[in-house]
Amino acid sequence: MSMKNSMRFLVIFISLCALILLSACSASSEVYDGTAKDEGYVENNGADTNLGTESGITDHNPNGKIIRNVVLRGETKDFDTALETLKNKIAENGGYVENSSVTGGESIGSNRKSSRNAVYTIRIPAEKLDDFLEKTEDMLNIISSSETTTDVTLEYYDIEARMKTLESKKAALEKMLEQATTLDDIRTLQDDLYEVIGEIEAYRSRLNVIDSKVSYSTVDLTITEVIEYTEIKVEEPTFGERISTTFIKTWRGFWEFCQDLAVFFVGAMPVLLVFALIGVGVFLIVHLVKRRNRKRLERWKAQQNDKK
């Protein structure tokens, strides 16, 4: 490369670096001064609280990015109907089931079956989350609930600023690559360009994940099949209530034990009949043997008396 070409290349390189620096300063000023400061950004860092958000947007910051996660545990006496109703409510609110599983219900030796449990991970549009939760509480006996909100506004706009800087760097590298004349310069510029492109794609992927979590809130729901609903009381039960509850539970357990015992004997009756027949046969054989031995002993005694 001639001295003239080298000087021209150096001037272009310095100019592009200055352009990148100015773009980065402008982007940072726009993000932190215009969004985080002027719009009243408040960082939450995943506190377990309800900020009353819709679509991941706070009231004081229309550009805020809020992720809402809800955990619910509920009970139902009509398990199949509850699951069908739940699916309809999810569809009505424009959501979808990310994961689900149903366990339990196996036979335990009688006509009764063990209680079933359903575990769902549900994604609901953030603006419809409160309506979905209200309908779910009407459908189930909710025994526990918790909500976590995470403010990712700072991270989101910081990534956007970094992407703007990387885009400027990418454009500069592409222009330098067009003007490069030596093989070493071309290889170096290509390596730098590929690295920048990789960083941009990684940041873009992270933004897509954040957008998905902000737009669709997550609900982890567990549904348990029960005979009687769990009573949630704030006050401690009285002495009389404790006696009454214990008596009812004990009597119910005793009645279920008697039912299981009766079912066991009915089911085991063919086996018990076989053992009874074997026992009668053994008893008759032993009785006949003893009777024969007794007669032999009597005859022997009679013979001894005749000899005397």
Residues 156-212 have pLDDT tens digits of: 999 999 999 999 999 999 999 999 999 999 999 999 999 999 999 999 999 999 999
Q: Which two tokens stand for residue 1?
A: 């490369």
Compute the distance between CA of residue 49 and CA of residue 60 in angstroms, rounded to an integer: 16
User: What percentage of the chain reaches a pLDDT higher than 70?
Assistant: 74
pLDDT tops 50 at residue 98: yes
Q: Are strands 66-76 and 117-125 parallel, antiparallel or unpaired?
A: unpaired
Secondary structure of residue 147 in the 3-state scheme = strand
Which range among 51-55, 118-122, 225-229 has the greatest average pLDDT? 118-122
Please state the φ and ψ torsions of residue 106, each to the nearest 5 degrees: -75, 155
User: What pTM value is reported for the model?
Assistant: 0.55
Task: State residue 295's pLDDT score.
Answer: 81
Compute the distance between CA of residue 81 and CA of residue 97 in angstroms, rounded to an integer: 17
Beta bridge partners of 149: 68
Residue 133's Cβ-side half-sphere holds a number of Cα atoms within 13 Å equal to 20
